[in-house]
Structure 1
Amino acid sequence: MGALSRAALALAALLGVSSAVLEVHVGTGSVFSVEGQQVVLPAWYTSSSQKKPYITWLLDKDDADPFQILTFLDGVVKVEETELKPRVGFLYPIVTHNISVFINTTRERDSGQYMVTVNVVDEVASARRNVGVINLTVLVPPAAPRCQLHGDPAMGANVTLSCTSRKGKPSPTYQWQRTAPNLQFYFPPAQDHARGTLKLTNLSLEMSGVYLCVAENRAGSANCSIALEVHSTSTKAVIAGAVMGSLGALAIVAFFTQRLIGYRRRKRDGQEEAANEIKEDAVAPKTPSWARRAASDTISKTSTLSSLGGARERPYGPSPPSDTASVLTAATSYRGPPPRPGGRAPNLSPPASNGTAPRRDPPPGPASLPPSSLARSGAVPVMVPAQSRAGSLV
């Protein structure tokens, strides 16, 4: 029995020591805070020792290695040189074994994993029991969103309303609605809560009004609004059509003007080329050398031809006046001088008995007109060839 009693007492002593082993406790593994507010990370430790503990708070972030932010050593609190220095501290005196810390004016960058370790000189600490871990998430309310209209709000057209907030953690969701007096809510697929878009199709005048967008997350909410005015015609389309029409008219006018100028230029060049060809190819008419001779020479030749023609025999009776006389008569309308009193009449004797044509005095020759009169009347001397009895030209 004595041996058993001693073994039981030894076991009880071991159990009592083990119950007094140093251990760290946390109130919760996750803490949420709203940006700008204060947050408390709850933690305490148990120990039977009356010695002062050695306490260290560290921050482990995804983008950096763990670093110290707060320590308690030999009864002195020390805040490390971090961006938390003016905003962090112990919430209660250390003698109470409450080692909770506070963080004022939290920021989004304060989010991360906070670890606290406690060590006492005369205490035995088992593995990982003297460490506490708390995850802090600093929430950011949505910033004031921006409402926009995409498209032309004409009757029968489609438009999209968008709502975007540049800041928010977690990402905000969006809710569109039309405000009073025509209150109306919209649901998918017309509305995309994650992207903040609202699609309105086949617009009508009754769809005009003020549309409100609310961006919301766990930290808070913000809103914006936009006035939608549906019109019957597209002002932009009218303006664009007028501009395009004007440009088209100017282009047509410029085209035809250029064609007209080109046509006139080609016509003028063609006329100039034709004139140049005529000037180069045409040969100036030459005045007969005999036309520049003296008038007496012309009259003499004409008289000689007339005399020769009259001296020949004409078996067919009297012939009409000579061609030279006809030409002179047609050109000058001159039919010979009037008969003079006591003058000799033309020889009109009957034909001779031997069958030959009677001889006829030649008509008055052009010698009866002065050369100046013939020149003014435009007469041109013509030489008529003699005719043989057989009818051939000599």
Structure 2
Amino acid sequence: MRALAAAALALAALLGPAAAMLEVHVASGSVFAVEGRPAVLPVWYTSRSQKKPYVTWLLHKPDADPFQILTYLDGVVKVEESDLKRRISFLYPVLSHNLSVLINGTQEHDSGQYMCTVNVADDSSSTGKNVGVINLTVLVPPAAPACRLQGSPAVGGNVTLSCASRKGKPLPSYQWQRAAPAAQVFFPPMQDRARGTLKLTNLSLDMSGVYVCAAENRAGSATCNVTLEVLSTPRLPAEEAGRAGGGGQRDQGRRRGSQKPGVGQKRRAGRRLPHQHPVLGAGRPPQARGPPRRLRRRLRRPGQRHRRLAGPPAPGSPPPPPAARRRRPGQDGCRGRHGAGAEPGRLPGVTPPPPEKPTPPLYFDFLGFFFFPSAF
């Protein structure tokens, strides 16, 4: 028994000074916080000294060197210039040996490795025992995802529903399900949870409904939905082109076709070519348009006799009578315009205009040219 008592005393003597040496403790080496919410980094120390400690908090990010964010020296707390200046503080009084810090309104870039170093004037520690390290990870909930439908939602067709969130840490996973009243949950390979796609094949009318996609990670979740309306007949290509962004060209074509013709267009529309004439052009090709323009003046018109070229007079025949010359008013003994030679029924001093010759239709010339070619 004496031997056992002596051994216990020796063990107490050895453990006593070691237990009183300076040492920093952490409750957990990894702390997770949701963006926008507060985070607590739990740290405390033990020491045999009663003097005030010298405390330094540093932040080490992967892309930068460690820098001070918070210190305690000679009873004074100092917050260093950084993004955390207005959001970080000691959670308890430092003399209580609890050196935990509180970070309010955490942001994604607050993630990193936080190191707490403690030094006491009349106390020492073994190498590395006076430093506590905590890794802070700020999680970001998924942003509201966007749901899309690709494909032709007709009976027998195939469509793909896609869902994507532009923000989230860690990367969100996606889960598709069909809303009530016909609730349904989907599984791989129909659904790809990493990419957020859902493939529906061989569509039927009873597959119409509302499909909901949920993007979720450790920080939270967000949803979106898309309505699938399965048609009994597929859409026409023109309708598909309009849905894809070609509606403007189609409307422009309609407007172009509904424009009224101008004056020049009306005139060209009412003009007929000779081969289009209802009488002369019936059954005739475009090249049979009648005689050239230079021969039309030589065609015989109704009421006129064709003048043949006379040969030399026969021997002994009397000379031809002189051609009657057209007399003007006031000749043959008349006394001019105001004389007595004025014709009856005509006002004195007024010369009547020459009579206008009626212009026969052009198709009479064409008929005469084709049916009586010897007369021309």
TM-score class normalised by the smaller sequence: 0.5 to 0.7
Post-superposition shift, 1:290?
3.8
Alignment of 1:271-350 (within 5 A): 287-290=310-313, 295-296=317-318
Post-superposition shift, 1:271?
6.2
Aligned to 2:36: 36
Post-superposition shift, 1:168?
1.3
Aligned to 2:343: none
* d(CA) in 2 for partners of 1:92, 1:185: 49
Which segment drifts farther, 18-27 or 174-183?
18-27
Aligned to 1:115: 115
Give CA deviations for 1:146-178 in whole Å, capped at 9, x if unaligned: 222122312121111111122211111111111
SS in structure 1 opposite 2:206?
A: helix
Post-superposition shift, 1:52?
0.7
Match of 1:289, as an amino acid? P
Aligned to 1:20: 20
TM-score by length of 2: 0.63
Change (3 A) 1:39 1:236: farther
* d(CA) in 2 for partners of 1:241, 1:189: 31
* d(CA) in 1 for partners of 2:241, 2:76: 81
**Is residue 52 of structure 1 aligned with residue 74 of structure 2?**
no
Aligned to 1:141: 141
Aligned to 1:93: 93
Alignment of 1:1-394 (within 5 A): 16-237=16-237, 239=239, 287-290=310-313, 295-296=317-318
Aligned to 2:355: none
Structure 2 unaligned runs (5+)?
1-8, 243-249, 258-268, 277-284, 298-306, 320-376
Post-superposition shift, 1:20?
2.9
* d(CA) in 2 for partners of 1:10, 1:202: 83
Match of 2:71, as an amino acid? T
SS in structure 1 opposite 2:199?
A: strand
Give CA deviations for 1:252-289 in whole Å, capped at 9, x if unaligned: xxxxx9xx99x98xx8788699677999xxxx986432
Post-superposition shift, 1:51?
1.3
TM-score by length of 1: 0.60
Match of 1:22, as an amino acid? L
Which segment drifts farther, 52-61 or 122-131?
122-131
Change (3 A) 1:60 1:277: farther
* d(CA) in 2 for partners of 1:231, 1:125: 78
* d(CA) in 2 for partners of 1:104, 1:228: 44
* d(CA) in 2 for partners of 1:232, 1:18: 83
Change (3 A) 1:207 1:62: same
Which segment drifts farther, 125-134 or 206-215?
125-134
Change (3 A) 1:164 1:278: same
Seq. identity, %: 61
Match of 1:295, as an amino acid? S
* d(CA) in 2 for partners of 1:294, 1:77: 157
SS in structure 2 opposite 1:124?
A: coil
Match of 2:168, as an amino acid? G
Aligned to 2:323: none
Structure with more helix by fraction: 1
Change (3 A) 1:51 1:286: same
Alignment root-mean-square deviation, CA: 3.8
* d(CA) in 2 for partners of 1:164, 1:84: 32
SS in structure 2 opposite 1:102?
A: strand
Structure 1 unaligned runs (5+)?
1-8, 251-256, 298-394
